[in-house]
A and B are shown apart, each in its own frame.
Chain A
Amino acid sequence: MNKVDLQNEIASLYEQRNMLVRARSEAEAKNSGANGNNANEVRKNGVSNSTVSLSERAFAEFSKIGVPDQRFEEWKYAAPKLFKAASAQGALSAELVIKNAMVLTVEDGEFIIEESSNPNMLSGVTVHLISDDNFETDPSVAIAFESILEKKNLPFASLQTAIEEYTIAIHVTGEIEVPIHIRYITNSLGALLISTPTVLLFAAPNSKVTLVEEHVSHQPGNTIVTSLTSVVAQSGSQVNYIKVDHGTGQKSIAHTTADVFSNATFNAYTACLQGGFVRNDLHVRLLEPSADVHMYGVSVLDAEDLADNHTVVDHVAPHCTSRELYKGLYGGKSVGVFNGKIYVRPDAQKTLAYQANHTLLLSDSAQINTKPQLEIWADDVKCSHGATTGQLDEDALFYLRSRGIGMQAAKQLLTNAFVGEVVDRLPVTEVREFVQQHINNTLHVTEIEA
């Protein structure tokens, strides 16, 4: 695959989508006569609208940057890897099974109803599949897309908005203990680009929910898979958001946004487990006082893997807190990227914002590129950031070995201790064990250079 192929593919996907929407809308017009032609502001397709449609606006936004190359600062490290073949070993990845969870399965971009739980299984949660010419049925969807479109410099999020055909809208009104587990599975060997349905999660005031997004590919391949998730955490709600990438053979590009309102808590956990190529853009806005945000990340890479985490924490309202801790274990010739932006707007007095990115390099050829970017316009705030990169501590290793602990076990103890600060916090037991198991396997096969 190269850039021209991909651009052609994107143009044809966009054209296909427009044809489909046009056909649908003509059929609709036939059925409902002249009334079906009313221009509707919230409609996405806009084929018969007087206003420019959301899809067209999104495609125009995408076209400003197009498929990014390394001259585009935000994609400096990821772009060169985008067209590189993924590592040939399509090692079968273990299955993540979460007991009692509500499962939604998306395979090669299609929602698979047979492999999903009954959408009504939980009281206090509704799940709707909304085709994008039907947004008027759910006004919050249109609002969410407007908010996504406001964001610039996210070419793949714009692209997905332009070409996707339907959206999964999840409304949470109760306190839900069992997780909602969305599985994005890639099997397609040939496709250049797959765009998954956008997921919109609305947590009503004082509700509680845990969303687990699992991106997995079981086949070796090179497909670019884009995904887009938007969370609205209304006042007093608590949202746990977990994103796990594992397996090889796909290039996963994900954009997640969260808008957090007063007294709401948003906890994000991002685990990149040898995904081959994973790019995450996680953008969080703290929009009302006393919003509380935690963002944890752990990346365990080997071979030629890349994990690129771009985060934006936008403090708009006063008296909010954000804490960010990303840890990386990089072996082989892997490349880790961490770019953390923190904005503290003029009104966001009494902000507490912390950011830390710590890396253990397990081989001489692995690399980490880390860049904190803090922009602070308020004066009464506490912000800090820190980054460290190192190898395993020699003195600690010797201490453990002097107690009869073998080299490999000693390295495992120290490495697990390093990532434990993040892994131990994962709020879903099965996910925590899954990540831990993956780390154990990786450390077992990786010859760590002490």
Chain B
Amino acid sequence: MSSLIEIKNLRAGIEGREILKGISLSVQPGEVHAIMGPNGSGKSTLASVLAGKSEYEVLGGSVEFLGQDLLEMNAEDRARAGLFLAFQYPVEIPGVSTANFLKTAVTQIRKFRNQPALGPAEFLALMREKMKLVEMDQSFLSRSLNEGFSGGEKKRNEIFQMAMLEPKLSVMDETDSGLDIDALKIVADGVNTLRNSDNAFVVITHYQRLLNHIVPDVVHVLWDGRIVKSGGKELALELEEKGYDWIKAESAVEA
């Protein structure tokens, strides 16, 4: 089986400062990987570099996504090819309605994927169906994108978009932060519904509680720009119990 994404020794930084110091990660279709790690370890940077945010400079390594050189592609082409980033901090865009935004995105993506364009009625029906998945109210469609949304509403909107765009690989950056228990369950159920043998998820989180609902195949610990430990889902429980200090000690010994 060929990897969905193959990250090899990826190094990246900003303004001359190295943040990712050689990351290797390989995700197969059907898998869920969790990335945990203390604040500032580089989790969001990894997500941004994968999504193609140009302010980060790639310093070395390679990323192959569905057989293509991901680092050569611009942000929109990565999304069209099937990469999705659920933002830690979704951006508020006044004056652009959620519906209009999604219409533009879906139209461009379908064109890129050689799928026929959707008519207005079909598109509306599709939006309605996918909103149900995260129990979002239809009134959000006519509102400006994320503007005035609560933290939880923004996160649900991210998963709603994920459902609309049908990505192959979804990177979820702390989607659980700012969610209460009920909302967490809704979001997790939504993600589980979207899981299939063709797609994969990289779930970035601080807490093991999300992983009770979205059960990972592999857990990685990111520390100071490196993956310092990988293991099964028990690793998340261990981290929850003991914190990160023992890992710090371990990696200090290794280094």
Contact = CB atoms under 8 A, between A and B. Distances in A.
Interface of A: 393-396, 398-407, 409-410, 413-414, 416-418, 420-421
A414 B93 contact: yes
B96 interface: yes
Contact of A405 (B52, B53, B94, B104): B104
Nearest to A406: B76
A98 B62 CA distance: 58
Interface string B124-146: 00000000000000000000100
A402 B104 contact: no
- Most B CB within 10 A of own CB, among A395, A396, A404, A405: A404
A51 B95 CA distance: 58
Given A417-B93, A417-B95, A400 B101 contact: yes
B100 interface: yes
* Most chain B beta-carbon contacts within 10 A, residue among A393, A396, A401: A401
Given A398-B75, A413-B101, A405 B93 contact: no
A421 B95 contact: yes
Contact of B94 (A399, A410, A417): A417
A400 B90 CA distance: 11
Nearest to A450: B54
Contacts of A407: 74, 76
Contact of B75 (A393, A396, A401, A421): A401
Nearest to A408: B76
B87 interface: yes
B112 A404 contact: yes
Contacts of B112: 404
A410 B93 CA distance: 11
Interface in B138-174: 144, 161, 165
Contact of A396 (B55, B78, B93): B93
A403 B91 contact: no
Given A402-B51, A405-B108, A406-B76, 17 more contacts: A393-B91, A398-B53, A400-B104, A401-B79, A402-B52, A402-B78, A402-B79, A402-B87, A403-B79, A403-B161, A403-B165, A405-B105, A407-B74, A413-B101, A413-B104, A417-B93, A420-B95
Contacts of A417: 93-96, 144
A402 B75 contact: yes
8 contacts: A395-B91, A398-B51, A401-B76, A404-B109, A405-B101, A407-B74, A414-B96, A418-B95
Contacts of A406: 76, 108
B11 interface: no
A312 B165 CA distance: 50
Nearest to B164: A403
B85 interface: yes
B95 A416 contact: yes
- Most chain B Cβ neighbours within 10 Å, of A394, A399, A421: A399
B123 to A, nearest CB: 15
A417 B101 CA distance: 11
A404 B80 contact: yes
Nearest to B89: A395
A406 B51 CA distance: 14
Q: Which of B75, B87, B91 has the most C-beta atoms of chain A within 10 angstroms of its own C-beta?
A: B75
Interface string B82-114: 001101001101111000111011001100100
Main SS at interface, chain A: helix
Interface in B186-223: none
Nearest to A424: B95
Contacts of A395: 91
B118 to A, nearest CB: 14
A417 B95 CA distance: 4
A332 B251 CA distance: 55
Which 3 A-B pairs rank lowest in CB-CB distance, beginning with the nearest? A417-B95, A404-B79, A401-B75
B96 to A, nearest CB: 5
Nearest to A420: B95
B110 to A, nearest CB: 9
Contacts of B78: 402
Contacts of B53: 398
A403 B74 CA distance: 12
Given A404-B80, A405-B76, A399 B104 contact: no
Nearest to B51: A402
B85 A402 contact: yes
Contacts of B165: 403-404
A406 B111 CA distance: 12
Contacts of B80: 404
A404 B94 contact: no
Contacts of A402: 51-52, 75-76, 78-79, 84-85, 87
Contacts of A405: 76, 101, 104-105, 108
A399 B90 contact: yes
Nearest to B53: A398
B54 to A, nearest CB: 8
Contacts of A410: 76
Nearest to A415: B95
A394 B93 CA distance: 11
B100 A401 contact: no
A401 B101 contact: no
Nearest to A418: B95
B87 A399 contact: yes
A416 B144 CA distance: 13
A401 B74 contact: yes
A99 B55 CA distance: 50
A413 B95 CA distance: 9
Nearest to A421: B95
A110 B126 CA distance: 57
Contacts of A394: 55
Contacts of A409: 104, 108
Nearest to B54: A398
A413 B96 contact: yes
Nearest to A410: B76
Contacts of B101: 400, 403, 405, 413
Contacts of A420: 95
Contacts of B91: 393, 395-396, 398-399
Interface in B37-60: 51-55
Contacts of B104: 400, 405, 409, 413
A420 to B, nearest CB: 5
A327 to B, nearest CB: 11
Contact of A403 (B55, B95, B100, B105): B105
A172 B252 CA distance: 85
